[in-house]
Chain A
């Protein structure tokens, strides 16, 4: 789930950069220094998720878990994800600095949106919690794929069919993200509900 630098046009790159800057700024504003260490650790954990390969069908995919981070951190997920992405860029050269804006919007935007949207469900029964987890994971990934396809299409309408391909190929990933997020939410709710801002 990364777009590399050579594909997008200036308007799309600029648009992504602006959106990511705004999102990060809001996230940072809502984040006081008392929480910054926790957010750093979660950001690092998010990075580690991208090193976990989960089998699906004959192949495997690596996790993203943006929706989960959104549930835990709300707006704080935005800077956390941007930092993790920039570290990935440095370590693995998956997409450079210029596309950081676009990649940030693609991944962190849906993560925050889904986190805020589904968090209220977490206060409900176990079943509701798991539903919230699944939806957050699935929808965040779905929206990310839509945004990615959109960024490609906006750059060059000739990419239309490729964009469709990207969207379709991410469908299994959405399911995996949903299922894993569901189980992790259920794990956290039992083991340490404070992480989800729930009272034990």
Chain B
């Protein structure tokens, strides 16, 4: 269930330095997130889709991910046309459809998907642990990147632990329904997972102390970004600037 299906690969995108990719993603998604015109959002969406295609994602996984995220967009399409804006409306039997609402829903969908494409193309192509190290290099406090890396490492162990307990409950005839017994059972399963995590934390802390840990995490040097990485960064920043310029033009019109 928890997996990094896009992180394996050997395309141009997979090989780039995670720091560079973090900066690039931030720049592009910032411009996209703040833009207010549909043509600009559409252009951004097309550009990021092209970027994504370069990273050659697995098509089946990609469509599943897109559907998941767009369930939210669907919610927007259902609510906004009925509730958003004061301008013109179209009467559709008994419903008042606001044109502003439709415009807004379209804008949000384009932005959401554009950012998603950018994210999948740039960040999902790095392993989570290398992103964690990248964050640290970019000035995120050490304690925080530490927390990030260790949490990542423990996710799998704890999830497995929870699933094994859940299996035990299932074998004893547990069928979830709307009852206090169900909620109590979930609480016990989760509570037991928590207790195990807590105790495991203690033991791992001991393991760290035994290996000389005294509160300072010393990073093992990571590969430095090369020339190709800087060119890559340049292109990403260029894309952001282009989109920002377009926004500016469309606003001033």
- Once bound together, how far apart are the Cα atoms of A168 and B85, in whole Å? 21
- Once bound together, how far apart are the Cα atoms of A93 and B162, in whole Å? 23
Given known A6-B107, A176-B183, A180-B190, contact A80–B147 (CB-CB < 8 A): yes
A6 near B108: Cβ-Cβ < 8 Å = yes
- Once bound together, how far apart are the Cα atoms of A187 and B131, in whole Å? 36
Q: Is B43 an interface residue (CB 8 A)?
A: no
| Residues on B with beta carbons closer than 8 Å to the beta carbon of A159 | 84
A162 near B187: Cβ-Cβ < 8 Å = no
Given known A6-B115, A28-B144, A180-B186, contact A93–B69 (CB-CB < 8 A): yes
Distance to closest chain B CB from A107 (angstroms): 15
Q: Is B88 an interface residue (CB 8 A)?
A: no
Given known A6-B108, A162-B84, A180-B187, contact A40–B194 (CB-CB < 8 A): no
Q: Is B212 an interface residue (CB 8 A)?
A: no
Q: Which residue of A lies closest to B195 (CB)?
A: A192
- Once bound together, how far apart are the Cα atoms of A140 and B134, in whole Å? 32
A41 near B198: Cβ-Cβ < 8 Å = yes
Interface code A93-132, partner B: CB below 8 Å = 1, 0 otherwise? 1101111000000000000000000000000000000000
Distance to closest chain B CB from A39 (angstroms): 6
Q: Is B123 an interface residue (CB 8 A)?
A: yes
B26 near A93: Cβ-Cβ < 8 Å = no
Main secondary structure of the interface of A (DSSP, over half): helix
- Once bound together, how far apart are the Cα atoms of A43 and B201, in whole Å? 11
Q: Is B154 an interface residue (CB 8 A)?
A: yes
| Residues on A with beta carbons closer than 8 Å to the beta carbon of B169 | none
Interface code B57-98, partner A: CB below 8 Å = 1, 0 otherwise? 000000001001100100000011001110000000000000
Q: Which residue of B lies closest to A82 (CB)?
A: B144
The one of B2, B69, B178, B204 that contacts A37, using a Cβ cutoff of 8 Å? B204
| Residues on B with beta carbons closer than 8 Å to the beta carbon of A38 | 198, 201-202, 205
- Once bound together, how far apart are the Cα atoms of A168 and B28, in whole Å? 34
Q: Which residue of B lies closest to A164 (CB)?
A: B83
The one of B29, B151, B177 that contacts A87, using a Cβ cutoff of 8 Å? B151
Given known A33-B215, A54-B182, contact A184–B198 (CB-CB < 8 A): no
Q: Is A26 an interface residue (CB 8 A)?
A: no
- Once bound together, how far apart are the Cα atoms of A122 and B15, in whole Å? 51
| Residues on B with beta carbons closer than 8 Å to the beta carbon of A79 | 143-144, 147
Main secondary structure of the interface of B (DSSP, over half): helix
Q: Is B37 an interface residue (CB 8 A)?
A: no
Q: Is B42 an interface residue (CB 8 A)?
A: no
Q: Is B240 an interface residue (CB 8 A)?
A: no
Chain B contacts with A in 86-129, Cβ cutoff 8 A: 100, 104, 107-112, 114-116, 119-120, 123-124, 128
- Once bound together, how far apart are the Cα atoms of A141 and B204, in whole Å? 32
B1 near A42: Cβ-Cβ < 8 Å = no
- Once bound together, how far apart are the Cα atoms of A98 and B153, in whole Å? 24
Interface code A33-49, partner B: CB below 8 Å = 1, 0 otherwise? 11011111111110111
A55 near B176: Cβ-Cβ < 8 Å = yes
The one of B25, B110, B177 that contacts A55, using a Cβ cutoff of 8 Å? B177
Distance to closest chain B CB from A69 (angstroms): 10
B208 near A37: Cβ-Cβ < 8 Å = yes
A44 near B154: Cβ-Cβ < 8 Å = yes
Q: Is B200 an interface residue (CB 8 A)?
A: yes
B178 near A55: Cβ-Cβ < 8 Å = yes
Given known A79-B147, A183-B184, A183-B187, contact A5–B84 (CB-CB < 8 A): no
- Once bound together, how far apart are the Cα atoms of A97 and B32, in whole Å? 13
Distance to closest chain A CB from B133 (angstroms): 14
- Once bound together, how far apart are the Cα atoms of A7 and B32, in whole Å? 11
User: A-B pairs with the 5 shortest C-beta distances?
Assistant: A6-B111, A183-B187, A187-B191, A40-B150, A38-B201
- Residues of chain A at the chain B interface (Cβ within 8 Å): 4-10, 13, 24-25, 28, 31-34, 36-45, 47-49, 51-52, 54-57, 63, 65, 79-80, 82-84, 86-87, 90-94, 96-99, 156, 158-162, 165, 176, 179-180, 182-184, 186-188, 191-192, 194-195
